[in-house]
Structure 1
Amino acid sequence: MKLTCDREALEKALVKAKEATERKASLPILSNFLLEAEGDRLTVRATDLENYLTLELPAAVLEPGKVCVNSQKLTDIVKGGSCAEVILQLKGETLVVECGRSRYKLATVDPDEYPEFPSPTEGQKEGSLPGELLLEGIDRTDYAVPKDAENLVLNATFVRGKGDEVHFVGTDGHRLALYKPKVEGFDLEVLIPKRGTKVLKKLVSQLETVKVSRSESFAFLEGEGWKLAVRLLEGEYPDYEAVIPTETPYAALVPTEEFTKALKRVTLLVEGKVKPVKIALMENLMKLFVSDPEFGEAEDEVEVEFVGDPIEVEFNARYLLEALDHYDSERVWFKLVDADSPALIEAEDPEREPYLCLIMPMTL
Structure 2
Amino acid sequence: MKISIERAALLKAVAQAQSVVERRNTIPILANVLIEAEGDTVSFRATDLDVEVVDRAPATVERAGATTVSAVMLHEIVRKLPDGALVQLTDDQRTGRFTVAAGRSTFSLTTLPREDFPVMASSEYSCNFSAPAKALRRLFDKAKFAISTEETRYYLNGVYMHVADGDNGRVLRCVATDGHRLARIDAPLPDGAEGMPGVIVPRKTVGELKKLLEDDDMQIAVSVSETKLRFATPNISLTSKVIDGTFPDYTRVIPTGNTKRLEVDAAEFARAVDRVATVSSERSRAVKLSLEEDKLVLSVNAPDSGAAEEELVVAYADEPLEIGFNAKYLLEIANQVDLENAVFLFNSSGDPTLMREGSDTSAVYVVMPMRV
- Alignment of 1:58 with 2:58, yes or no, is yes
The alpha-carbon deviation at position 71 of structure 1 amounts to 0.8
Distance 2:17 2:98 in 1: 19
Listed one character per residue, the Cα deviations across residues 225-255 of structure 1 (whole Å, up to 9, x for unaligned) are 0111111101111111221112213111122
- Seen in structure 2, the aligned counterparts of structure 1 residues 50 and 148 have a Cα distance that, compared at 3 Å, is farther
2:179 alignment counterpart: 173
The match for 2:286 is 276
Q: Which amino acid counterpart does residue 359 of structure 2 have in structure 1?
A: D
Deviations 1:144-194 (A, max 9, x none): 112334211111011112253211211111000111122343332221111
Residue 297 of structure 1, CA deviation: 1.5
Q: RMSD value over aligned CA atoms?
A: 1.5
1:235-280 deviations in whole A, cap 9, x for unaligned? 1111112211122131111221222222122111012320211112
Q: Does 1:338 align with 2:339?
A: no
Letter of the structure 1 residue corresponding to residue 308 of structure 2: A
- Checking the alignment, whether the CA contact within 8 Å between 1:3 and 1:89 is kept in structure 2 is yes
Residue type of the alignment partner of 2:366: L
Where does structure 1 differ by over 3 angstroms across 4 or more consecutive aligned residues?
none
Q: 1:237 — aligned with what?
A: 247
2:271 maps to which of 241, 246, 261: 261
* Equivalent residue, structure 2, for 1:12: 12
Q: Following the alignment from structure 1 to structure 2, what is the Cα–Cα distance between the partners of residues 104 and 259? A: 53
Distance 1:23 1:126 in 2: 33
CA positional deviation for 1:96: 1.5
| 1:115 pairs with 2:123 | no
In structure 2, the residue matched to 1:350 is: 360
In structure 1, the residue corresponding to 2:146 is in which secondary structure? coil
Instruction: Supply the distance in 2 between the matched residues of 1:266 and 1:81 (Cα, whole angstroms).
Output: 46
Match of 1:3 in 2: 3
The code of the aligned residue for 2:128 comes to: E
Q: Partner of 1:182 in structure 2?
A: 188
TM superposition shift of 1:201: 0.9
- Indicate the SS of the match to 2:188: coil
TM-score (norm 1): 0.95
Mapping 1:76-87, distance limit 5 Å: 76-82=76-82, 84-87=85-88
Asked if 2 retains the 8 angstrom alpha-carbon contact of 1:164 and 1:184, the reply is: no
Structure 2's unaligned 5+ residue stretches are none
- Verify the 8 A CA contact 2:54 2:237 in the aligned structure 1: yes
Structure 1: state its 5+ residue gaps: none
Which residue number corresponds to residue 202 of structure 2? 193
TM-score normalised by structure 2 residue count: 0.93
User: How far apart are 1:68 and its partner, in Å?
Assistant: 0.7
User: Please, which moves more after superposition, 112-121 or 195-204?
Assistant: 112-121
CA shift at 1:317, angstroms?
A: 1.1
Equivalent position to 1:315, from 315, 318, 325: 325
Query: Match for 2:99: what amino acid?
Result: V
Contact in 2 for aligned 1:208/1:224 (Cα 8 Å): no
Aligned to 1:152: 154
Aligned counterpart, 1:131: 133
Contact preservation (8 Å) 1:30, 1:48: yes
How does 1:205-216 map onto structure 2 within 5 Å? Answer: 205-216=215-226
Query: Number of residues paired by the alignment?
Result: 361
* Residue 52 of structure 1: how far off its partner (Å): 0.6
